[in-house]
Amino acid sequence: AQSVTQPDIHITVSEGASLELRCNYSYGATPYLFWYVQSPGQGLQLLLKYFSGDTLVQGIKGFEAEFKRSQSSFNLRKPSVHWSDAAEYFCAVAPGYSTLTFGKGTMLLVSP
Amino acid sequence: DVKVTQSSRYLVKRTGEKVFLECVQDMDHENMFWYRQDPGLGLRLIYFSYDVKMKEKGDIPEGYSVSREKKERFSLILESASTNQTSMYLCASSLVSDNYGYTFGSGTRLTVV
């Protein structure tokens, strides 16, 4: 079955520093991959998605992710983190028609 | 602005009660989903629906049922609530033409005592 693993439960980054959140997937073929963000007390919002083509995907709020087949990874990056980026981030894969399987999430803390 | 609305933000119910969680979307989406979210476990799919009166089991359907009598409304039912169903419940919807373009509600935090 398709699955995703987010190795980091918590990450703390200084405001203005760069960010990379890790996601590894398990799937034989090219997966559909996603990153979502959940701000406190809110539902999830889609940041970006990868289906095929260019392996570097641009998303909203200045985020990007790179699909690396050789490493089975889809890591999320941002060059300069803002305090408002503090949230929980979920990587997800599409195991079947219209459904998503989510990772366990990574909580991002931003220090002043 | 398009929305997925969950009727209650917080609910407290007693063990053994029948509980209804309601979700309404105003985007004419065909697909609707119920997930539960628990710390350290992420989101897990309970049930989903492709169309009115249709439903499919997700990864953890035990102890739950659903109802979709109208396209815009998708209800999650806990037939006999138990303490291990204390959780955050998230509803989402999407278009068939954009299957993975989920719009999520803000969630219902259910506590079963």
Q: What is residue A3's predicted lDDT score, i.e. its pLDDT? A: 87
How far CA A104 is from CA of A3, A33, A47, A79, B49, in Å, comes to 11, 15, 17, 24, 24
State the residue range of the domain holding A39.
Answer: 3-111
State the residue range of the domain holding B24.
Answer: 4-112
- Are A98 and B48 in contact (CB < 8 Å)? yes
B50 neighbourhood in chain A, CB within 8 Å: 98
- Are A43 and B42 in contact (CB < 8 Å)? no
- A46-85 residues touching B, CB cutoff 8 A: 46, 49
Domain count, chain B: 1
Phi-psi category of residue B81: left, alpha or beta, with phi > 0 → left and psi -120 to 50 → alpha: beta
Domain count, chain A: 1
Element counts in chain B: helices (H) and strands (E): 0, 12
Q: What is residue A28's predicted lDDT score, i.e. its pLDDT? A: 67
**Residue B22: CATH number of its domain:** 2.60.40.10
Here the tokens at position A41 are 């007390």
**Residue A29: CATH number of its domain:** 2.60.40.10
Q: What is residue B1's predicted lDDT score, i.e. its pLDDT? A: 64
Reference B72, options B29, B101, B103; nearest CA is: B29
- Are B100 and A32 in contact (CB < 8 Å)? yes
Q: What are phi and psi of A14, to 5 degrees?
A: -75, 145
Closest residue of A to B99, CA-based? Answer: A98
Give me the residues of chain B with pLDDT under 70, please: 1-2, 99
**Which of A94, A98, A105 shows the shortest C-beta gap to B42?**
A105
Here the tokens at position B56 are 């499919």
Q: What is residue B101's predicted lDDT score, i.e. its pLDDT? A: 81
Residue pair A32/A93 in contact by the 8 Å Cβ criterion: yes
Is B2 at the interface with chain A, CB within 8 A? no
Give me the residues of chain A with pLDDT under 70, please: 28, 96
**Which of A46, A49, A104 shows the shortest C-beta gap to B42?**
A104
Q: Which helix (H) or strand (E) holds B31?
A: strand B31-38
Interface-testing mutation among B23, B43, B49, with chain A (most A C-beta atoms within 10 A): B43
